[in-house]
Amino acid sequence: MHQELNSVEAFSQYLQDLPEEDAAARAAAQERNGQLTKPPGALGRLEDLAAWYCAWRGDAKPEIAKPQVIVFAGNHGVTAQGISAFPADVTVQMVANFEAGGAAINQLAKAFGAKMDVHALELDRPTADFTQGPAMDEAEFLAALKTGWEAVDPEADLLVVGEMGIGNTTAAAAMALALFGGEAGDWTGRGTGVSDEALQLKAEVVARAVAANAGCGTDGLEVLRCLGGREIAAMAGAMVRARVLRIPMILDGFICTAAGACLEAARKGALDHAVAGHVSAEAAHPALLARLGKEPLLAMGMRLGEGSGAALAMGVLKGAVACHSGMATFAEAGVSGG
């Protein structure tokens, strides 16, 4: 299936015209669930997860056979403000590590049978420092959305998007502040592990970023363009493409959720094809998930990004779908019902 993305307006239009879940497939899945050899409700949230997956795949007895993990990488002009515990060079170095198979996400993708793709977005051309004005102009924003859009394999049956970009917890905090308000400190966390002093500075940078881009208001796509980054916009592009292709998604940590929050602000329900894989240890992630009404599957104290928490949660979803589609019914197994 080929869908072109040639303008930000076209992206906006796709967002307005999103497909919805298949209600008949959900009903058929629920019917099947009621016949499986277990007391009703005994698989807890796995049952809801399986029904959700069936609804998005339009199949009452699906299989997860082709999961895809995509890691997007981008650099951020705001790193000049001293807001990360690591230098910006780490972004390109980690891309080499992803390509060599040495990062955490490589191991998790492999452990759960997903293919993994890496897209580095113009790493030698960081976004503009958003404390001075918009991170990206319209053309740069479109290029990033398009990278994400085109990175999704139409044959995939589950998608995880992850990111690598030194400085991007500052971008995500600024996006959350612009969308949801409050104090900069409410949304600012330690990222790679900044000191107390740097955390204070980081919150000030977040406040200045939002003030410098006040024209965005709470317009989701403008917040993404002005306060996001190339890898964050690419994640959003991939999320919408997945929706158009009816590929269910698992959200990762704070940065991934902030990308999704911009879509949800632009179009209510834009993340209905996504579940929250985990709650990250980044301080504001629980609040961000709560704003989106997403209950995380896992709470492992992870704060890595790269798609790692979502990749781990693929195991939970695969388990849910395997039970749903593989279990015998009471009639098939000759087991007495209650």
Ligand X SMILES: Cc1cc2ncn([C@H]3O[C@H](COP(=O)(O)O)[C@@H](O)[C@H]3O)c2cc1C
Residues in 286-315 at the binding interface with ligand X, rule: CB under 6 A:
304-306
Torsion over CA of 214, 166, 263 and 278, rounded to 10 degrees?
A: -130
Q: Which stretch binds ligand X (CB under 6 A): 38-46, 56-64, 140-148, 159-167?
A: 159-167
What residue type is assigned to position 152 of the chain?
V
- C-alpha 77/C-alpha 229 separation (Å) is 9
CA 147 to chain CA mean position, Å: 15
Q: What φ, ψ does residue 135 adopt, rounded to 5°?
A: -65, -40
Closest CB to ligand NIO among residues 21, 252: 252
- Could you say whether residue 166 binds ligand X (CB under 6 A)? yes
What residue type is assigned to position 299 of the chain?
A
- Could you say whether residue 169 binds ligand NIO (CB under 6 A)? yes
Judged by beta carbon distances under 5 to 8 A according to partner kind, the member of ligand X, ligand NIO, none in contact with residue 296 is none
Q: How far is the CB of 118 from ligand X (least distance, A)?
A: 12
- Could you say whether residue 288 binds ligand NIO (CB under 6 A)? no
Closest CB to ligand NIO among residues 302, 320: 302
- Could you say whether residue 282 binds ligand NIO (CB under 6 A)? yes
Q: Which of 141, 46, 145, 181 is nearest to 54 (CA)?
A: 46
The CB-nearest residue to ligand X is: 191
Q: Which of 334, 246, 313, 312 is nearest to 62 (CA)?
A: 246
Q: How far is the CB of 285 from ligand NIO (least distance, A)?
A: 6
- C-alpha 332/C-alpha 263 separation (Å) is 44
Q: Enumerate the H helices of the chain as residue ranges.
A: 8-16, 23-35, 45-57, 89-100, 104-111, 138-151, 168-180, 184-187, 196-212, 220-227, 230-244, 254-266, 285-292, 308-326, 330-333
Closest CB to ligand NIO among residues 169, 325: 169
| Active-site hit among 21, 47, 231, 306 | 306
Residues in 186-205 at the binding interface with ligand X, rule: CB under 6 A:
191-192
Distances (CA, A) of 224 to 58, 160, 267: 31, 19, 13
Closest CB to ligand X among residues 71, 142: 71
- Could you say whether residue 253 binds ligand NIO (CB under 6 A)? yes
Judged by beta carbon distances under 5 to 8 A according to partner kind, the member of ligand NIO, ligand X, none in contact with residue 90 is ligand X
Judged by beta carbon distances under 5 to 8 A according to partner kind, the member of ligand NIO, ligand X, none in contact with residue 167 is ligand X
- Could you say whether residue 47 binds ligand NIO (CB under 6 A)? no
Active site residue 306: yes
Give the footprint of ligand NIO on this chain (CB under 6 A): 169, 191-192, 252-255, 280, 282, 285, 303-305
Q: Where in the sequence numbering do the catalytic residues fall? A: 306
